[in-house]
Amino acid sequence: MKPVVIVKTGEPSPAVVERLGTFEEWILRDMALDQGNAEVVTVFHGAELPPPNSIAGAVVTGSAAMVPELHPWSERTASWLRRLVASGSPVLGICYGHQLLAHALGGRVDNNPRGREIGTVRVRLLPAAKTDPLFSGMPNELTVQATHLQSVLELPVDAVPLGESADDPHHAFRFGSCAWGVQFHPEFNARIMRTYLAERHDLLVREGLDPEELATRVEDPGHGTQLLQVFARIVGLPIASATA
């Protein structure tokens, strides 16, 4: 089969990478991808993206960058995403990838007026999710992990809202038949989330948040992994291979 491309737009902090791994490693793990059916393209280091018709689909990772900064590598990736969506190839944008997908399709991204959202969050699925190919088998409320300062403030025209949290009304959306953005990190588990909270302890305190209390509320019932497994089936991986 054609490869699934992991579009790498950034890295976790060096301490997180050393202890727990990278965005693409967690995504590859949950989608049961390996070197035979996946390709990692590090766009923030200038790597070239493949022609849309040469791949089975794509996952766009998170990043410490900000979409409104309009980095040249990010804008090149946005242009590629427009072509990918037009080709009908499945795409899933995660966190920065979610925001970049929305930006590429005409939405608006900027600082979330409600401030930082970090820790385990509850994402309430909206009515359209009941018949959505990615979300239809999911619970009405997802328990997932998130960490972001910016959000999609305006969805692209014709985008379908699929999920919201208390601090972000655009936590998930679909554009067309098979392009999705999720603000949360489906590839994060509880250990990863607690590590992020511990590493950002002082910053969170300065922002008026309580990292210790947030850490006590971290839980992971596996909804993020389930979502990535469903996306693996959408891009054509055998159902039996998409296991945690």
Give the active site residue among 98, 170, 171, 185.
Answer: 185
Instruction: Give the Cα separation of 209 and 224 in Å (integer).
Output: 24
What residues contact residue 232 under an 8 Å CB cut-off, 6+ apart? 4, 31, 32, 33, 241, 242
The residue ranges of DSSP E strands in the chain, in sequence order, are 4-8, 38-42, 57-60, 91-94, 108-111, 117-125, 141-148, 150-154, 160-165, 168-175, 179-182
3-state SS class at 2 = coil
Residue 187 designated active-site = yes
Catalytic residue among 24, 39, 117, 187: 187
Structure tokens at 196: 């992020």
* Active-site position among 24, 39, 95, 148: 95
Which residues on neighbouring strands pair with residue 146, listed in sequence order? 119
Catalytic amino acids? 95, 185, 187
